[in-house]
């Protein structure tokens, strides 16, 4: 299930983004980015619709995926 980012509270959205950017192995290309820059970038992608929030009802977990990943 896809959840619009606008449906989350500010705190929940911040926690989801922080969880994602602090994971080991997250790759943002050749340039190093600060944690704040990564979070800002992810929020911009959510606002543009290029990044989506998915919710798995079976495991009751959520995550971020690209628009392309959601089409598969």
Instruction: Return the domain boundaries, the chain.
Output: 2-24+32-70
Q: Report how far residue 59's alpha carbon sits from residue 41's, in angstroms, rounded to the nearest whole number.
A: 27
Instruction: For residue 42, give both structure tokens.
Output: 């992810």
Name the pLDDT band for 55 (thresholds 50, 70, 90). very high
Q: Average pLDDT, stretch 26-31?
A: 58
pTM score, two decimals? 0.80
Q: Which CATH superfamily is domain 2-24+32-70 in?
A: YehU-like (1.10.10.610)
Measured CA distances, 2 to 17, 53, 64 (Å): 16, 6, 10
> What is the average pLDDT across 52-64?
92
Q: Taking 90 as the threshold, does the pLDDT of residue 8 lie above it?
A: yes
Helix ranges restricted to H, the chain: 10-21, 35-48, 67-70
Q: Are 64 and 53 in contact (CB under 8 A)?
A: yes
Residue 26's pLDDT is 54
Q: Considering the chain, what is the average pLDDT of its residues?
A: 87
């Amino acid at each position: 299930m896809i959840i619009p980012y606008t449906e989350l509270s500010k705190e929940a959205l911040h926690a989801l983004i922080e969880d994602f950017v602090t994971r080991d192995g997250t790759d943002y290309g050749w340039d190093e980015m600060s944690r704040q820059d990564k979070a800002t970038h992810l929020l911009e992608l959510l606002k543009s619709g290029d990044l989506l929030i998915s919710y798995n009802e079976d495991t009751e977990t959520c995550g971020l995926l690209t628009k392309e990943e959601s089409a598969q």
